Each structure stands twice: as structure tokens, then as C-alpha cells.
């Protein structure tokens, strides 16, 4: 590649970095935050269901319990609890 080609490629990479910083990064953070909020809401519904609190979507969430058990540890650590539940449940 010639010197001109390298300068054009370097310039294009700079434009791509600028575009990502300006447009992509803020939306990526917002999307990740929304996904985390939705997951936390679903976990809270399932947890309340397991504690006996009436859940308006109980029939649909009952089948999800096995899938949510796998990420319970990450969730309760993010919520600020070092340990969760009885011995053998999580930590």
C-alpha cells in the first residue's frame, strides 16, 4: 500500500472511531441498561412468586425458574448481598 493509501485508511479509521463514540456507544449503554432492568424485573417477579406473593403472570413465569437459578448469584451480588438464601442454594 502506498503512503497515500495508508493515510486514507488511517483517516477512515479515525472517522469510524468518531462515529462509534458519537452515535453507537451511548445507545449501546442505554440498551444494556434496559436489558438489565428487564432482567431484574423478571427475577423479582419469580422470586416473589417463590415466596408466595401473588404474581399476575404466575403461569408463565413458573417454567422460567430453572433458567433463572443459574444467574441468581450474579444478580444478588449486583444487588449488594454477599450471600443469598440457605446453605446450598447459592453461595
Interval 42-60: pLDDT, tens: 888 888 878 888 777 767 7
| pLDDT category of residue 16 using cuts at 50, 70 and 90 | very high
- The predicted pLDDT at position 76 comes to 83
Asked if the model's pLDDT at residue 25 lies above 90, the reply is: no
Give the up-direction half-sphere exposure of residue 30: CA atoms within 13 A in the CB hemisphere: 5
How far is it, in rounded angstroms, from Cα 73 to Cα 22?
35
Among 49, 39, 45, smallest CA distance to 78 is for 39
Residue 61 lies in a domain: yes
Task: Kindly state whether residue 89 falls inside one of the protein's structural domains.
Answer: no
Q: Is 71 domain-assigned? A: yes
More confident: 34 or 64? 34
Q: Is residue 64 part of a domain?
A: yes
Q: Residue 1's pLDDT is what?
A: 65
**Does some domain include residue 33?**
yes
Number of domains in the chain: 1
Dihedrals phi, psi of 63, to nearest 5 degrees: -70, -15
Is residue 86 situated within a structural domain? no
The answer as to whether 43 is a domain residue is yes
Q: pLDDT band for 34, please (50, 70, 90 cuts).
A: very high
Find out whether 61 and 41 touch, Cβ atoms under 8 Å: no
Compare 61 and 25 and report the one with higher pLDDT. Answer: 25
Distance CA 73, CA 78 (A): 9
Please check whether residue 83 lies inside any domain of the structure. Answer: no
State which residues form the domain around 23: 3-78
Amino acid at each position: 500500500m502506498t503512503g497515500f493509501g495508508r493515510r486514507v485508511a488511517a483517516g477512515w479509521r479515525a472517522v469510524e472511531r468518531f462515529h462509534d463514540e458519537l452515535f453507537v456507544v451511548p445507545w449501546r449503554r442505554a440498551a444494556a441498561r434496559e436489558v438489565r432492568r428487564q432482567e431484574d424485573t423478571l427475577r423479582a417477579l419469580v422470586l416473589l412468586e417463590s415466596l408466595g406473593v401473588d404474581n399476575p403472570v404466575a403461569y408463565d413465569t413458573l417454567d422460567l425458574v430453572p433458567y433463572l437459578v443459574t444467574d441468581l448469584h450474579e444478580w444478588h451480588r449486583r444487588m449488594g448481598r454477599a450471600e443469598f438464601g440457605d446453605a446450598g442454594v447459592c453461595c
